[in-house]
Amino acid sequence: YEHQSCLCNQSLRPHLELAAAAADLAVLHFIPSSTDVRVLVHASSVTHPSKNEIVLLRGDLTSKVLDLDVVRRYVVPAARLVDFVVVGPSSTSSSQQLVSVWRSVAEDFVYVFPISRTGPKVILGQRVKGLDTFAHHHESHDLDFSADVADIDVRFLYIFAECIRHALSAASTAVSGAALRRLALEAVHRECQDQARREKQTDANAVRVAVWLQLLQKCTKLWAVENIPLGVASIQGSLVLLRRNHTSILFPSTRAIIATTGSSSSSVHHDDDELSALITPFFASFSHRDVRAAVLCEWNVDLHVDLTSPSLLDTLRRELQRGLVHTNQGKSLPTLLARVAPILAGDATAQSAVLTALVDNLALLDASSSSASPSSSATAAPPSSTDLSLALHRMGAVVVHDMLAATYAALGFLSFLDDAQPSFVAPATLQHISTALLPRGLALLRKWVFYQWLFDQPSSPDTPTMLVQAFARHDDDNDVQLNLATAVLGLLHKVHDLPALASYVHATRQHDVVRVVVRYALQHPTDDDGAVTMYLTRLLGDALVAEAVVAYELNHERRHITHILARAVRSYITVLELEHRSTTTAAATSQLYEITGHLKETAPRPYAAKFILQLLHASLVFHCSDDVTGATEFIWYNVFKLALTERLYDEAHVALHHVVARANSATVDECVRHFVLQLCDAGRVDVVVGFTWGALDAKVEDVLQWQAANTHANLTIKRASQSAVSVLRLLYSFLVKRARFAAAAQAMHALFVRLEPDAFHVDVLRVQRDALLAATNVLALVPASQNRWFIHQEPKTTNRTTDPLRVVTASDLRRELLIVRGKLKLVGSSAAALAGQSGSEVVSLLLKHLTPDGTMATNVALAVAIARAIDMDVKVVVRAVARDFAYSSGTESLLQALLRHAHSPDAYLAAVDTLLQSHAPLPTWLTDAAVAAGPLTAVALLRLYLDHGVLDEAVALAIDHLVPKDLSQPAFQQAAAADTSPKHWMPYELLDKLLGACDTVGGDDVAPLQHNATRLKQRLAEYFQYVHVVDAAASIRRQHERRPTASSISSTTTSSTPMTWSTN
C-alpha cells in the first residue's frame, strides 16, 4: 500500500521513456523484496501504438523521491497485453518467472520470462501454448466421441468437482470421492422432497429427473468455455489462463469428460468411477443444444409477429420447398406452420396463398413417393407425406376456424337487421335479408360447424397421421410440445403449477427461456390472486428489455428493437394497472420507481428515453394530482428530463410547470438551470426567448446571469452554455423580448467588459463593437420619461473593500464604441497589444500607423472624434503629428488633414510651435492657414516667431498681415468723413521688440533681413502718419461743429484744410 501511494504522487513517464500522449493505462505488479523496491510496469494506449514490453524497475521509493532505474525489459512481438503474473519458486524452477498473456488480431500468445538479478537488459521470452492451441485441443476432444475417461487428467476431474460443489452451494472444499457423491445425492434428495411437497405430485421419478436437470444446467453453465482471455492466475502451483466467465483454459469440454461409450472401470481412478456413475446417465439424456435451438426458434417466431404477409409467405414457400425436397429437413415444416398459424389468422390472402403453395407441392410429394425404396414397409409412409398432411391439416383448421368466426359475425349482423328493421335500410333490402341472406348464412354456418367437428375428431393411432389431432387443437401446450424437448416441457408444466420456478430461469439470465416460460404461464392462469400474474408480467417485461439489449449489441434493425421495447412497455403498464387495482398506493408508487429505474439502467440508451416517456405518460392515470406519495412529482420530473433528452422542448416546458407546482424550490432551480443550459447547447435560443415562462422569468434571468459570470469569455468554446458571449447574447434577446431595454443594454455592456482583456484579435473586437452598438441602440428605446442609464459594477481590486459602482450613459457607450472602432483600424498594422489600451493611446497609435491611402481622411477624423470624446486636448495630438513630421517620420498630408479636421487656431499654433522647437522649416500653407484661422492668430504667431528668434518670418508676417496695406486717398477721405479711427490693432510691444532685434543683428549674411526691416519701418511710418492725419482731421471737424456761427474761422479753416491734406 505504501509503494502504491508513493507511485500515485509521482510520474513514471520519464523512467519509461514515454512521450507526452503515448500512455493512457498502466499495469503494475510489485515483486516482494527485503532489500529494495522492484516493480513491473506495462504502459499501453488506446490511441497511440504501445510499446510491447514489460519494464522491471528497481531502486528506492519514497513519498517524495522516485529513485528507480530500468534494469530489465521483457520484449515480445507486436501484440497487446492481456495480463501478467509473477510465479514463485516451484519444484521445477528455482527462480521466479514472469508469465504474460498477449493477444493480436488473429491469435493469442503466452510468454514466459525468467526474473533474475543478472543477465542482459533486454530479454526475449519463451513462447508456450496459447489459446489457439488449447482451442484445437478441445475441438479434437469434442469430435472424438470414443475418448476414454482414463485419458482425462486427475486435475480436470478435480476442477469438475469444484463446479459441482459450486452448483450445490457447498462451502467445504475438502470433500472428494465418495463423500462428494453422497453430498450430491443428499442435496438432490432434499430438493426432490421439497418440490414434491410444494407441487403435490405423485410421480416421484419425474420430479427427480427435473431436479437432476437443474443441477446439470448449472454445471453446464459453469462449464462454458469462451475464447476471450481475462488474465492469469495461479491455482495450487499450476498456471491457469482465465476466460471471461472466470473458468480455466485447462477446463475440458463436456464431451471430453463424459464419454458416450462404455469403458472399463478397472482402468479409471476411483474418483472417475464415482463421477461417471453420478453424471453420465442423466447427462446423456439431456440434449442441451437441441433444447436451446428449440427455445430460440420459439422466441424468434413469437417476437416477429409484425412481419408483413409477403415476407412471411416467402419464408413459407422456401421452407416448403426445402422440407419436401430434403426429407431429412421435413420436420421443420409442421413446426413452422404451427408457429405462424396464429399470425395468419384472419388474413384470407395469406391463408389462400399458403394452401395454394401446399397444393402446388403435391407434385414433389408424388415424386418422392415414387422414388422410395420398394423394399420399404407398405404401411410406413415417407416423412414428406406426413409433413405435407400435417401442414394441410393445420392450415385447413385455421381456415375453418376463421370462416366459422366470420360466419358467426355475419349472421349476427344480419339477424340484428332483420329483427330491428331500422328505418335507414330500404324495405327491399330488409326483404332480401329475410328471404335470401339469412337462409344462406344458416346453411354456411352448418357447413363450417360440420367441418370444425370433422377436424376435431381423433385419428387412429395406427397411422402416421395421429399427430393431426394435436395440430388441429388450439391448445398452446400441445403446440409447444411439438417443438420443445422434454426438459423445457417439464419446466413449463412446473411453472404452470408453481410459477416461482420462473425466478430460477430469470436468475440464470436466460431471457429467451423466460419469454417462453412466462407466456406459457400467463396463458394458463391459476385460481390464485393477481400477485402471481403481476410477477410473471413483470418478468415478461424484463425479458423483453434484455432481448432488446442483445439485439442492439448485435446491430439488429431499429424496427425490430423498437417493437421489442414497445411490447416491454405494454407489459410494464399492465403491471402498474394490476398493482393499482390490487394493492395500496404506496406499493404502486414503489413499483413505478422500480420499473423506471430498471429501464434507465438496462434499456439501450438510444431508445430508453422514448419508451420511458410512454410508460410515464400511461402511469399518470393511476396517480391523482394530490397524492401524498410523491409519484406525480416523480413522473413529471422524469418526463421533463427525458423530454429534454429527446429534444421535445414543448413537452419539457409543460412538465416543468407541473414540477414547479409540486416540487420544492431547490428542485425547481435545478430543473430551470438544466432546461436553459440544454437549450443553449442545442442552439435553440428561440425557445428560451419565445417561451412564456411566467413566474419563472426571474429564475431564467438569474440562471443566465450566473452562467455568464462563471464561464469563460472565449469565442472558440463549442458548448454555447460555457461561453459568456453566447450566454450574454441570449440574455440580451431575452430581455429585449420582455421590453427591459436598460437591462438588455447592461448585458451587452457586460459582454464588452468581459472581452476587454482579450481585445487584441479582430474577432474579439468585432464582438465588442457589435455589443456596444446593440447597447447603444437598445438604450435609445428607453422612454424619455425614464432614465437612460444603467449601473455597472467595476471589478474588485486588492486595495478596495467593496466593488465600486459606475453609472453608464449613452455618451459613455458612444465613447467606448469610438475607441473600439479605432482598435479595429489598428488590427494588422500595429504590433502593439491592443488589450487594455486607453483612448489617448489608441489615438496616438491610430495617427502613427496610418498610411497615405484613400482611408486616411476617415482615420484622421476617427482619431479626432476619439480625442474629443475622451476630453483630450487636440493640441497634444497636433504636437505629436507635427513632431513626427519635423523629424521626417511623418507625412505633410497627415498633418494637413489633422489640422483641417481639428479646425482650431490653437491647433495651428501648436503645430507651428512644435516645428519651431524642432528647428524644422514651416510650410507656407501652415502659416497661411494659421493666420486665416482667427483674427488674432497673426499676433500669436508673431510672438512665437520672436520667442524662437525667427526674425525673417517675423518681419515678413508683420509686413504682410500686421501693417495695413490700404493707405490710399479714398480710404483716407472715407475715414475722415466717418470721423472714425482705423480699426486695426497693432501689437506695438511686439513690433518694437522685433525692430530692436533686427537692429542688433549685423553682418553681410543678414542683408535681406535688414532690407525687410527697413521696409517694415517705412510701412509703420506711413501708417502712423496716416493715423495722425486722420486723428487731426477728426479733431478739427469736431471743433468746427461746436462753433457753427464763426463764419470767418470756418471759411479760413475750410480754405486752408484741403491745402494741408493734399500736401500731406
How does pLDDT run across 507-561, given as a tens digit for each residue? 555 566 666 666 666 666 655 557 777 877 888 888 888 888 888 888 777 888 8
b/e for 388-402, b at 16 or more Cβ within 10 A? bbbbbbbbbbbbbbb
Instruction: Calculate mean pLDDT across residues 684-701.
Output: 81
- 713: closest CA among 751, 740, 665? 751
Position 976 pLDDT exceeds 60: no
In the block, cell 431595454 appears at 741
Which grid coordinates belong to 878? 497636433
Position 153 pLDDT exceeds 70: no
Whether residues 828 and 888 share a domain: the answer is: no
Degrees, nearest 5: CA angle 255-257-260: 55
- 487: closest CA among 296, 300, 288, 332? 288
Least confident of 571-585, 617-631, 664-678: 617-631
- 949: closest CA among 989, 993, 983? 993
Domain boundary among 835, 865, 886: 835
Whether residues 169 and 242 share a domain: the answer is: yes
pLDDT score recorded for residue 198: 78
Q: Which amino acid is at 708?
A: A
d(CA 206, CA 511): 25
Whether residues 792 and 871 share a domain: the answer is: no
Using a 10 angstrom Cβ sphere, with 0-12 exposed, 13-18 middle and 19 or more buried, the burial of residue 796 is: exposed
* Cβ count within 10 A of residue 496: 17
Residue 785 and residue 804 in contact, taking contact as beta carbons nearer than 8 Å: no
Does the residue 303 lie in any domain?
A: no
Which ranges in 806-936 belong to alpha helices (H)? 810-826, 839-848, 856-869, 874-886, 892-902, 905-917, 924-932
Domain boundary among 877, 897, 922: 922
Which pLDDT band, with edges at 50, 70 and 90, does 838 fall under? Answer: low
What is the DSSP annotation of 222-275?
Answer: HH---S-EEEEEEETTEEEEEETTS-BTTPPPHHHHS-SS---GGGS-HHHHHH
* Cβ count within 10 A of residue 895: 24
Least confident of 107-116, 451-460, 878-887: 451-460
Which residues are registered as beta bridge partners of 25? 44
- 642: closest CA among 677, 673, 694, 607? 607
- 859: closest CA among 883, 813, 827? 827
- 13: closest CA among 82, 63, 68, 59? 68
Instruction: Calculate mean pLDDT across residues 909-926.
Output: 76
**Percent above pLDDT 70 for the chain:** 52
d(CA 672, CA 694): 13
Whether residues 963 and 913 share a domain: the answer is: no
pLDDT score recorded for residue 13: 77
Does the residue 990 lie in any domain?
A: yes
Regarding predicted confidence, which is higher, 103 or 711?
A: 711
Does the residue 423 lie in any domain?
A: no
- 735: closest CA among 720, 755, 750, 753? 750
What is the DSSP annotation of 61-111?
Answer: E-SS-EEEEEEEEEE-SS-EEEEEEEE---SS-SSEEEEEEEE-SS-EEEE
Whether residues 35 and 53 share a domain: the answer is: yes
Residue 912 and residue 926 in contact, taking contact as beta carbons nearer than 8 Å: yes
Per residue in 553-570, pLDDT (tens digit) is 887 778 888 888 888 888
Does the residue 92 lie in any domain?
A: yes
Regarding predicted confidence, which is higher, 856 or 895?
A: 895
Helix (H) or strand (E) holding 1000: helix 988-1000
Does the residue 143 lie in any domain?
A: yes
Regarding predicted confidence, which is higher, 482 or 131?
A: 131
Instruction: Calculate mean pLDDT across residues 169-182.
Output: 51
Position 121 pLDDT exceeds 80: yes
Helix (H) or strand (E) holding 742: helix 741-754
Instruction: Calculate mean pLDDT across residues 650-669.
Output: 83
Domain boundary among 922, 945, 972: 922
CB within 8 Å of 837: residues ≥ 6 apart: 823, 845
pLDDT score recorded for residue 257: 28
Give me Rg for the CA atoms of the chain.
Answer: 54
Residue 595 and residue 575 in contact, taking contact as beta carbons nearer than 8 Å: yes
Whether residues 805 and 753 share a domain: the answer is: yes
pLDDT score recorded for residue 155: 40
C-alpha torsion angle, residues 724, 726, 731, 736 (rounded to 10): 140
- β-bridge pairing 37-44 and 25-31: antiparallel
The total number of residues shown for the chain amounts to 1064
* Cβ count within 10 A of residue 863: 29
Angle between helices 270-284 and 178-199 (to 10 degrees): 30
CB within 8 Å of 397: residues ≥ 6 apart: 341, 455, 471, 472
Regarding predicted confidence, which is higher, 218 or 342?
A: 218
pLDDT score recorded for residue 90: 46
Does the residue 227 lie in any domain?
A: yes
Per residue in 737-759, pLDDT (tens digit) is 888 888 888 888 888 888 877 77
Domain containing 188 equals 133-286
pLDDT score recorded for residue 497: 52
pLDDT score recorded for residue 314: 56
- 471: closest CA among 334, 351, 345, 330? 334
Which pLDDT band, with edges at 50, 70 and 90, does 801 fall under? Answer: low
Position 766 pLDDT exceeds 80: yes
Does the residue 398 lie in any domain?
A: no
Whether residues 1010 and 905 share a domain: the answer is: no
Whether residues 947 and 1061 share a domain: the answer is: yes
Position 275 pLDDT exceeds 50: no
- 843: closest CA among 824, 815, 867? 867
Which pLDDT band, with edges at 50, 70 and 90, does 21 fall under? Answer: low
Per residue in 618-639, pLDDT (tens digit) is 888 777 655 656 788 888 888 8
C-alpha torsion angle, residues 929, 930, 932, 937 (rounded to 10): 180
Which grid coordinates belong to 1045? 456761427
Which grid coordinates belong to 608? 430508453
Position 761 pLDDT exceeds 50: yes
Regarding predicted confidence, which is higher, 305 or 737?
A: 737
pLDDT score recorded for residue 979: 54
Does the residue 12 lie in any domain?
A: yes
- CA 907 from centroid of its chain's CA atoms: 62
CB within 8 Å of 944: residues ≥ 6 apart: 909, 912, 913, 916
- For the chain, the distance separating the N- and C-terminal CA atoms, rounded to the nearest angstrom, is 125
Q: What's the mean pLDDT when you consider all of the chain?
A: 67
- 813: closest CA among 785, 857, 755, 772? 772
Which pLDDT band, with edges at 50, 70 and 90, does 273 fall under? Answer: very low
d(CA 206, CA 221): 23
In the chain, how many domains are there?
5
pLDDT score recorded for residue 165: 56
Whether residues 18 and 141 share a domain: the answer is: no
Which pLDDT band, with edges at 50, 70 and 90, does 474 fall under? Answer: very low
pLDDT score recorded for residue 515: 67
Whether residues 766 and 905 share a domain: the answer is: no
Which pLDDT band, with edges at 50, 70 and 90, does 1000 fall under? Answer: confident
d(CA 498, CA 1006): 135
Residue 401 and residue 344 in contact, taking contact as beta carbons nearer than 8 Å: no
Which ranges in 266-347 belong to alpha helices (H)? 270-284, 288-303, 309-325, 332-344
d(CA 143, CA 579): 53
d(CA 760, CA 835): 5
Residue 788 and residue 810 in contact, taking contact as beta carbons nearer than 8 Å: yes
In the block, cell 485419458 appears at 151
Per residue in 585-622, pLDDT (tens digit) is 788 888 888 888 888 888 888 888 888 888 888 888 77
Whether residues 790 and 815 share a domain: the answer is: yes
Whether residues 145 and 281 share a domain: the answer is: yes
pLDDT score recorded for residue 141: 43
Which pLDDT band, with edges at 50, 70 and 90, does 373 fall under? Answer: very low
